[in-house]
């Protein structure tokens, strides 16, 4: 963004066995490496994935207890937070996880029920869906279903393909089950903004495909159990950026990959720029 900063959210903090847990929003100055905590006004409940659009940081709020999830716009200068959308025809979102904004200004986001499984949200009112919200006509619709846990979401540079990760690999108790999804799905994006031709793009061999981004040539990057795995547009694994333990999310800052791992932030300089969406 213009301030040469990357905003990011923490893992769940506090007593994670009860609803009395929280996350923190921070930002790193890429020029100096300084990290500071951001305090939105009002607070954003259990903030998760986000993106940058039209001068604002767009953040997925997972909600807390009986307060449903929402999509929130954060002013990076004043820290003022404004709700973009917080329900599906009166039904509460589960715990929005990740978001991308298309060139026409529509918000596309995933909404798994992790909040309920992780004990900070009430019982779900909706399925494991992916949504598209058009802010100009205030229309919200389910754009994809059939997931165990829809998670990361990203467009190809030409917006003809939408990639969505399914991280259902974990059971509700947090155990690994290799028979459950650890999959990146690809969809064709039609001229009417509907999706078709759902297909398996790739299956990760270590852990789950969490956050997902693309570079300007259409290569697909995803955070996994051994770092960042990189696939070409056909789904062939090109290689891995090995990071100790696992990577949940990351972001391109031009040709620098800013990688988030628990208490450490890595910067990896590449020979190609990211498709900033």
Choose one of 96, 111, 145: the last residue of a domain: 145
Reading across the β-sheet that carries 161-166, which strands appear in turn?
150-155, 161-166, 183-189, 195-203
Query: Where do runs of H (alpha helix) occur along 33-117?
Result: 114-117
Report, as an integer, the average pLDDT of 187-201: 97
- In this predicted structure, the answer to whether residue 131 has a pLDDT above a threshold of 90 is yes
Q: Give the pLDDT confidence of 217-253 residue by residue, as tens digits.
A: 999 999 999 999 999 999 999 999 999 888 999 999 9
Q: Give how many domains the chain has, as a whole number.
A: 2
| Nearest C-alpha neighbor of 141 from the set 106, 114, 94 | 106
Q: Give the pLDDT confidence of 148-162 residue by residue, as tens digits.
A: 999 999 999 999 999
Compute CA 129 distance to the chain's CA centroid, rounded to the nearest angstrom.
Answer: 14
Those residues with Cβ within 8 angstroms of residue 49's Cβ, 6 or more apart along the chain or in another chain:
9, 59, 60, 96, 97, 98, 99, 152, 211, 249
Choose one of 114, 145, 176: the last residue of a domain: 145
Do residue 96 and residue 18 come from a single domain?
yes
Do residue 199 and residue 224 come from a single domain?
yes
Full domain range(s) for residue 135: 1-145
Report, as an integer, the average pLDDT of 189-214: 96
Do residue 41 and residue 166 come from a single domain?
no
pLDDT-derived band of residue 276, with 50, 70 and 90 as boundaries?
confident
Do residue 123 and residue 217 come from a single domain?
no
CB-facing half-sphere around the CA of 150: CA atoms within 13 A: 29
What pTM value is reported for the model? 0.96
Do residue 29 and residue 135 come from a single domain?
yes
Do residue 110 and residue 232 come from a single domain?
no
Do residue 125 and residue 241 come from a single domain?
no
Instruction: Kindly state the DSSP code that residue 154 receives in the 8-state scheme.
Output: E
- In this predicted structure, the answer to whether residue 263 has a pLDDT above a threshold of 90 is no
pLDDT confidence of residue 172: 66
- In this predicted structure, the answer to whether residue 177 has a pLDDT above a threshold of 90 is no
Give Cα separations from 161 to 188, 191, 247 (angstroms): 5, 11, 24
Choose one of 121, 145, 169: the last residue of a domain: 145
Q: Give the pLDDT confidence of 57-105 residue by residue, as tens digits.
A: 999 999 999 999 999 999 999 999 999 999 999 999 999 999 999 999 9
Do residue 239 and residue 120 come from a single domain?
no
Do residue 229 and residue 257 come from a single domain?
yes
Do residue 179 and residue 137 come from a single domain?
no
Do residue 74 and residue 188 come from a single domain?
no
Q: Which domain CATH number covers 2?
A: 2.120.10.30
Do residue 221 and residue 254 come from a single domain?
yes
Better-predicted residue by pLDDT, 173 or 222: 222
pLDDT confidence of residue 178: 83
């Amino acid at each position: 963004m213009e301030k040469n900063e990357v905003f990011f959210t923490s893992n769940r903090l506090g007593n994670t066995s009860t609803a009395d847990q929280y996350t923190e929003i921070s930002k790193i100055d890429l020029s100096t490496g300084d990290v500071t905590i951001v305090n939105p006004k009002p607070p954003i409940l259990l903030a998760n994935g986000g993106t940058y659009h039209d001068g604002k940081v767009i953040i997925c709020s997972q909600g807390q207890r009986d307060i449903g999830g929402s999509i929130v716009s954060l002013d990076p200068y004043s820290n003022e937070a404004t709700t973009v959308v917080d329900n599906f025809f009166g039904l509460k979102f589960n715990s929005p996880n990740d978001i991308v904004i298309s060139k026409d200004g529509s918000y596309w986001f995933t909404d798994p029920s992790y909040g309920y499984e992780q004990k900070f949200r009430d019982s779900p009112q909706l399925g494991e869906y992916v949504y598209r919200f058009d802010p100009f006509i205030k229309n919200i619709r389910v754009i994809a279903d059939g997931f165990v846990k829809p998670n990361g979401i990203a467009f190809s540079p030409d917006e003809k393909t939408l990639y969505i990760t399914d991280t259902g690999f974990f059971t509700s108790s947090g155990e690994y089950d290799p028979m459950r999804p650890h999959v990146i799905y690809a969809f064709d994006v039609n001229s009417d903004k509907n999706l078709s031709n759902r297909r398996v793009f790739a299956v990760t061999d270590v852990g789950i495909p969490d956050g997902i981004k693309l570079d300007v040539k259409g290569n697909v990057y995803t955070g996994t159990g051994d770092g960042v795995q990189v696939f070409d547009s056909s789904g062939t694994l090109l290689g891995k950026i090995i990071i100790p333990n696992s990577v949940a999310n990351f972001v391109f800052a031009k040709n620098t990959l800013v990688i988030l791992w628990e208490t450490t932030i890595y910067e990896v300089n590449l020979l190609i720029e990211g498709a900033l969406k």
